[in-house]
Structure 1
């Protein structure tokens, strides 16, 4: 785990968060997302940050896909809820199940709904946590394409063990190792250091 971390992430970078298992990547990721609070200190930003894209957190099982979409849209200050709802419906490909309670969804369907709700909002920073492992192969391809599009106009912070995927999305990296966080402007330099740990 980590203590006394202090880091400044420069704007305009797509950053990989690297570290060995148990280094605290997921915890740090949740702290950045605001879904977990640090024991001390804080994250300071004026950017709109997404929730971790692959996680179906915030999806209520008793509500339908459509109700969840509208709720998430309202919470995140979406102006045109009808347009947002339509975008999510098209993206998630749930068909008539969009109007059924989420408790009847498979985990893949729930993930597709959460993913659709996230990418249909224009965040400044997208938190991507093994996001392209969502759903079947066709949907994974679609999800990856949507995130690559977003990464052109917004920043990305990604946790992934897939180095090919990291290279596709990121241009720089942070390495969390033995309780210390180091930022590297050059992705390849960071990957070399990471692979030597």
Structure 2
């Protein structure tokens, strides 16, 4: 399956507009700061619509306005797709997950139909180890 030139132009335009890199967009990526790379990577991952997204630590870089822009786009993708997430952000897990699989400190794998229950187990293990 190949993308047409128009589809390709649309994707590039989306990433360029979303990332807000300005003149740096066409420069070599090796010249980018880590924040610029993050903006580009997030824009690229959101330019394509998938049934499932593998999400590792949802983070947004930049000022509050750009972070809100990322959150809004992420939520719109979540409305039409499923996520498999790995995160230490407990609020993100509560916001985006319906169920949880928690791997405990002894490599025990537990399934939780309630995300809040998995989070409580995580907090209890953290408190026990301190």
Using structure 2 for the length normalisation, give the TM-score.
Answer: 0.82
Shift of 1:139: 2.0
Match of 1:51 in 2: none
Question: Take 1:140 and 1:95, find their aligned partners in 2: how far apart are those partners?
Answer: 17
Is 1:126 matched up with 2:53?
yes
Aligned to 1:174, the other structure's residue is in SS state: strand
- Is 1:100 the equivalent of 2:64? no
3-state SS in 2 of match to 1:171: coil
In the TM superposition, what whole-angstrom CA distance separates every residue of 1:54-111 from its partner, at most 9, and x where no partner exists?
xxxxxxxxxxxxxxxxxxxxxx955510111111111111112111111221111111
Written as runs of structure 1 = structure 2, the 5 A alignment for 1:1-197 is 78-79=3-4, 80-177=7-104, 178-197=106-125
Which fold has the larger relative contact order, with Cα–Cα distance below 8 Å and residues 6 or more apart in sequence?
Answer: 1
Highest Rg: 1 or 2? Answer: 2
Consecutive unaligned residues in structure 1, runs of 5 or more = 1-75
Give TM-score, length-normalised by structure 1.
Answer: 0.56
C-alpha displacement at 1:165, in angstroms?
Answer: 2.1
Alpha carbons 2:55, 2:83 under 8 Å: kept: yes
- Matches of 2:103 and 2:96, distance apart in 1: 19
Q: Which runs of 5+ in 2 are unaligned?
A: 126-130
Distance 1:133 1:182 in 2: 29
Instruction: Identify the structure with the greater helix proportion.
Output: 2
Three-state SS of the structure 2 residue aligned to 1:131 is coil
CA distance, structure 2, for counterparts of residue 78 and residue 144 of structure 1: 27
